[in-house]
Amino acid sequence: MSDRGDAPPDAAGRRVVATREVLDHRYLNVRLVTERDAAGREFTYVWGTGPDVVYVVPLLDDGTTVLLAQRRYGIPGRSLEVPGGHVDPGEAPAAAAARELAEETGLVAGCVEHVLSTLATIKIQQRLHFHVARDLVQGEHAREADEDIEIVRLPLAEAVRRARAGDVLHTPSVTALLLAAGL
């Protein structure tokens, strides 16, 4: 635990007095941060950071979309998700969305449209970028060794229905599908 008693107080009069790193992973860094207010009370918060992440809804000319049924550690069965992944250092989010789409599905996008950027949560300061891809041409996928993926092609309306019914547990995928349906 590091002592941060020399840090100036924030606008609310709170001062960070300690920070302890509890997880240092390439995809997520988590710390416990303790603040002290002017009355001497201490409050500890979970705070994390991670690299930007992209999610992309491929929209085919016939009104269908492509989802991934993936094995994910921690849940039984497969997780139904939109394609996505981490933004590499120096890479633009739209370029990362196109790259992840091609790697996971083999689809090459002629157009990648940014729809929204937001944070995963306030406690996890990791920016999420949502995109829609159009003008798609099928190519070969280039999945990573740990990506156990089955392609699921559905009408966009059916994918949204499944998201609303709770069949899609991955919150960023639900968000991506609802955003795409609203375009």
Res 6: pLDDT = 56
Spatial separation of the C-alpha atoms in residues 33 and 24, rounded to whole Å = 15
Q: Are the C-beta atoms of residues 49 and 124 closer than 8 Å to each other?
A: yes
Q: Are the C-beta atoms of residues 84 and 72 closer than 8 Å to each other?
A: no
| Collapsed DSSP state (helix, strand, coil) of residue 9 | coil
pLDDT tens, per residue, the chain with 183 residues: 444 445 677 878 899 999 999 999 999 999 999 999 999 999 999 999 999 999 999 999 999 999 999 999 999 999 999 999 999 999 999 999 999 999 999 999 999 999 999 999 999 999 999 999 999 999 999 998 888 899 999 999 999 999 999 999 999 999 999 999 998
User: Quick count: other Cβ atoms within 10 Å of Cβ 3?
Assistant: 11
| Collapsed DSSP state (helix, strand, coil) of residue 164 | helix
Q: Which CATH number is associated with domain 53-181? A: 3.90.79.10
User: Quick count: other Cβ atoms within 10 Å of Cβ 49?
Assistant: 12
Domain boundary assignment for the chain: 2-49, 53-181
Give the closest residue to 171 by CA, choosing from 52, 74, 81, 48: 81
If you count DSSP H runs as helices and E runs as strands, how many of each does the chain have, helices first?
3, 12
Bridge partners of 153? 66
pLDDT digit string, tens, across residues 85-98? 999 999 999 999 99
**pTM assigned to the model:** 0.89
pLDDT digit string, tens, across residues 100-113? 999 999 999 999 99
